[in-house]
Amino acid sequence: MGGRGLRWLAGVVLFGLVSIAVPFLVPVSGFIPELEVIASDKLGQPVAIDDLRLHLLPTPRVVANGIAVGRKLDVTIGELEIVPDLMSFLSGPRTIRLIQAQRVDVQESALAIPKGMAKGQGGEPIRVRRVVLKEVNFHHSKFTVPQFDADVALGEGFALEQALLETRDGSMRLELDAAKSFAFTGKQWTLPAGAPLKFDTLVVQGTLKGEQIDLTKIEGLLYGGKIAGTARASWTKQWQMSGQAKLAGVDLVPVQQALGKQAKLSGRLKADAAFSSRAKTPGQLGNALALDGPFEVEGGAYQGVDLSKAGDLTGKPAVGDATNFEELKGVLRLRGKQVKVSELCVRSPKVVAGGKFEIAPDQKLSGRLDISVAKTGGFVGVPVSLGGTTSDPSVTPTKGYVIGAVIGTVLLPGIGTSIGSSIGSRIEGTSDCK
């Protein structure tokens, strides 16, 4: 092939490359100012666009880059792609087949944007069939959400047909259908708000209708145990929630650590509780929480107090004191930050104790225990009062204990104190820890 033929071939190749490249990237940046004005008017917020191009292949679409919404960059989008249904612009309602946004950053302040949007939009409505969001970061002051993707299918009037939201680390998946039924799955997932408890797995199913959400199935694995329950929440005139939950085999040490508290109590928790709350705002629901139900802790210890020493009037709390038990059970009543435990029963080979106590909102501890301590001649009854705080509890003998000890010492010096302590227990009455 001669030089003329090579030039001809090079020209054909160049023409082919241009023919392929040009349809992909057709600059339409001249429309940016007009589009910014229209978008700002619709959203009630300033909108800026860095770049705008028309792609003709594989199908015609408009691609915008560097979009910013709001004076404080409330929403930023790295790339926005809009794919129209061309036939719909010839006849029938105008339709957008796909709106896809990538590298989306949403600030908490963006939640207020809908309130400032213009009402009663004029002109012919445009139908959107599908919205896809990728690499979304949502920043909120009260909870944390991992980066996620979302895929939403829409019907007429923007009615939801199907939605899928999934975090990019695989920790969360949420599916929602046209009937407003949803299914949530979490893996190695930490609650984004409230107590930062971490679930090995969590499955929640329910329905969302109007201003009410019903959770018909809650099942999860956490800290070596299980949780199961149901719940309902509504937000008409005020926020309300209610439900029930069962726990089995949950390790209490990592739970306390997750809540930022010193792990004073160890063991495996079993509980069956009913709860409810009413408040003007969702943030106040925790302070108005009411929870009731029996509980049981197996094979653990309470650090800070050794109840087996309760029979020794001269005994002083020592570093490392703890009450080991095979069983600890009772009935919990919680009202906001006020905690009451009744029908308390603690059992071990060395000690059996029963009674009740309260924890005030400032963590002050008060209550009464009847303790039976193992001695040479069997068990000796000792009534004691609880005081101090949950982090620094104290156990002191009651007046009945002191009276009984004095009586025993007078009657039988040397061995009468232990006998007298049993008398003191009978003076004040014993618990029915059975």
pLDDT of residue 56: 77
The pLDDT of residue 214 is above 90: yes
- Are 298 and 403 contained in the same domain? yes
Query: Using 50, 70 and 90 to split pLDDT, how confident is the model at 145?
Result: confident
Residue 374 lies in a domain: yes
Average pLDDT score over residue span 152-167: 91
What's the residue count for the chain?
434
Mean pLDDT of the chain: 81
Residue 394, CA atoms < 13 Å, CB-side half-sphere: 8
pLDDT at 410: 42
Quick one: pLDDT at residue 305?
82
Confidence of residue 345 (pLDDT cuts 50, 70, 90): very high
Task: State residue 104's pLDDT score.
Answer: 96
**126 within a domain of the structure (yes/no):** yes
Residue that has been written with the tokens 């107090």 in this structure: 305
Are residues 325 and 219 part of one domain? Answer: no
Residue 11 lies in a domain: no
Whole-number percent of the chain with pLDDT over 70: 80
The answer to whether 348 and 325 are in contact (CB under 8 A) is yes
Shared domain check, 362 and 391: yes
pLDDT of residue 14: 46
- Whole-number pLDDT of residue 196: 86
318 with 433, same domain: the answer is: yes
Q: For position 37, what pLDDT does the model report? A: 85
Residue 272 has a CB neighbour count (10 Å cut-off) of 15
Residue finishing a domain among 270, 288, 306? 288
pLDDT category, 426, cuts 50, 70, 90?
very low
**Does residue 13 lie within any of the structural domains?**
no
| Residue type, position 403, single letter | I
Chain segment 230-248, per-residue pLDDT in tens: 999 999 889 999 999 999 9
pLDDT at 220 over 60: yes
Residues 157, 246, single domain; the answer is no
| The pLDDT value given to residue 311 | 58
pLDDT value at 198 more than 90: yes
Whether the per-residue pLDDT at 430 is higher than 80: the answer is no
Q: Containing domain of residue 269, as a range?
A: 180-288
Confidence class of residue 102 from pLDDT cuts 50, 70 and 90?
very high
Residue 375 banded pLDDT, cuts 50, 70, 90: low
247 and 312 share one domain = no
Whether residue 174 sits in one domain with residue 37: yes
Is 164's pLDDT higher than 90? yes
Of 257, 288, 319, which residue constitutes the final position of a domain?
288
Considering the domain architecture, whether residues 239 and 339 belong to the same structural domain is answered as no
Position 226 in a domain = yes
pLDDT at residue 288 is higher than 50: yes
Q: Is the pLDDT of residue 344 over 90?
A: yes
Asked if residue 62 lies in contact with residue 49, where contact means CB atoms within 8 angstroms, the answer is: no
pTM equals 0.76
Residues 6-44: pLDDT tens digits?
454 544 444 444 444 444 445 567 778 888 888 888 888
**Given the DSSP bridges, would you call strands 130-139 and 127-128 parallel, antiparallel or unpaired?**
unpaired
pLDDT for res 404: 41
> In this predicted model, which residue has the larger pLDDT, 338 or 420?
338
* Structure confidence at residue 120 as a pLDDT band (50, 70, 90): low
Checking if the pLDDT of 114 tops 70, the result is yes
pLDDT at 229 over 80: yes
For residue 354, pLDDT beyond 60: yes
Q: Which two tokens stand for residue 265?
A: 């109590």
> What's the pLDDT at 78?
95
pLDDT above 70 for 110: yes
Q: Give the end of a domain, one of 239, 269, 288.
A: 288
Q: Indicate whether 135 and 31 sit together in one domain.
A: yes
Q: Is the pLDDT reported for residue 195 higher than 90?
A: no
Q: Give pLDDT, residue 389.
A: 87
pLDDT of residue 411: 43
Domain total for the chain?
Answer: 3
Look up residue 412 and give its two tokens. Answer: 């039988």
314 or 320, higher pLDDT:
320
Q: What is the 3-state secondary structure (H, E, C) of the chain?
A: CCHHHHHHHHHHHHHHHHHHHHHHCEECHHHHHHHHHHHHHHHCCCEEEEEEEEECCCCCEEEEEEEEECCCCCEEEEEEEEEECHHHHCCCCCEEEEEEEEEEEEEHHHHHHHHHCCCCCCCCCCEECEEEEEEEEEECCCCECCCEEEEEEECHHHCEEEEEEEECCCCEEEEEECCCEEEEEEEEEECCCCCCCEEEEEEEEEEEECCEEEEEEEEEEECCEEEEEEEEEEECCCEEEEEEEEEEEEEHHHHHHHCCCCCCECCEEEEEEEEEEEECCHHHCCCCCEEEEEEEEEEEEEECCCHHHCCCCCCCCCCCCEEEEEEEEEEEEEECCEEEEEEEEEECCCEEEEEEEEECCCCEEEEEEEEEEEECCEEEEEEEEEEEECCCEEEEECHHHHHHHHHHHHHCCCCHHHHHHHHHHHHHCCCCCC
Residue 139 lies in a domain: yes
Do the Cβ atoms of 48 and 74 come closer than 8 Å?
A: no
The model's confidence at residue 273, banded by pLDDT at 50, 70 and 90, is very high
Do 428 and 312 reside in the same domain of the chain? yes
The verdict on residue 5 lying in a domain is no
**Do 303 and 427 belong to one domain?**
yes
Tell me, what's the pLDDT at 122?
53
Does 14 map to a domain?
Answer: no
Same domain, 154 and 298: no
